[in-house]
Structure 1
Amino acid sequence: MSDHEKVLASIAASTDADKLRRFRENAQRMGVTAVADAAFRRLVEILPEQAPGSIEHDFWMTIHAFEEVLRDERGKTVRLSRTRQKIGRVGVKQTLTDFAMSKAPTDGFNMLIERGLPELTGEALVLKHSESFDLEVQAAAKQRLEDAGVDITKLRSSW
């Protein structure tokens, strides 16, 4: 087993957010994109407290992913306070509906697309959990992703 494989195996088994951030920072500094990406994806997978596979877990993965991207850019912890307040007021499903139905993509959508993480966008979650959304919302989410150049068939195969 190569060093990269050992690190990737350690990342896959880790449930320690600080350790995953260190793996990611070290890999970024050394230019090892595969390790940095694996650590990022594992980090946002373990941060939500909700049951894996649920719409709520997937949604919180999206929130944590965007907050981590902002943390990278700003060099400090950033919380999406307004989004978190909205979730408290209207819930996850309505927040995702509002993301998909908005006239323009959110900053979070754009940042995740730019970083090659379309599966973490709210629009992708609408399609992944399509049974929870009206056809109009699904169509808007699909259109936004396609307009951003996302191959929906590849996206669906990543679930």
Structure 2
Amino acid sequence: MTDQVSKMMEFVASCGDAKKLRQIAENADIRGVPDLARAARLKLYSILPGEDPGTLEFAVWQSIFALEDVLKQERGKTIMLSRTRQKIGRQGVQKCVSDLILGSASEGFKMLHDRALLDLSFEAVALKHPDRFDDIVLDAARIRLAEVGYSVP
């Protein structure tokens, strides 16, 4: 890793500006520095949620922001997870996550898997907050993650 990339990685670690992080990720993509692009995006996903860090709500919004960003990268335009956002508004975070885990693997799950971001999937999020979910949901999450070789903590 060059000195410039190392300095940028240090900057990313302490940066709290979403606009700067997006720009760093885009520039890193253009310049072929995938580790820096990934670090900038992961930091971005960690600052966007308005909820308290460590909560289920924070983790869910972090996941949503990550998937929306993946969709934007893939399709070249902003794609909002409107149905997921609406379901959260109507039924709450816990019910939305449970229903998605108990259904078939979503396209979002597959996209996160393809980008080695399964730790941001709703399945992984549920397992990090086991006190909020029924055993059937947690078992379904473990099974889905194990099927794709994700090491469940």
Question: How large is the Cα RMSD of the aligned pairs?
Answer: 1.1
Cross-structure match for 1:58: 59
Map of 2:105 onto structure 1? 105
**TM-score, structure 1 as length reference:** 0.92
2-structure distance, mates of 1:41, 1:126: 19
Matched to 2:94, the amino acid is K
Number of residues paired by the alignment?
A: 152
Q: CA deviation at 1:29?
A: 1.1
1: distance between equivalents of 2:101 and 2:82? Answer: 20
Q: Indicate the residue corresponding to 2:151 in structure 1.
A: 151
Matched ranges for 1:127-146 at <5 A: 127-146=127-146
The percentage of counterpart residues that share the same residue type is 43
Distance 1:26 1:126 in 2: 33
TM-score by length of 2: 0.96
Q: Which runs of 4+ in 1 moved over 6 A?
A: none
Correspondence list, 1:2-151, <5 A: 2-102=3-103, 104-151=104-151
State the distance in 2 between where 1:100 and 1:76 align: 27
1:41-99 per-residue CA deviation (whole Å, 9 max, x = no partner) reads: 00111110001111100000000000000111121211111110000011000111111
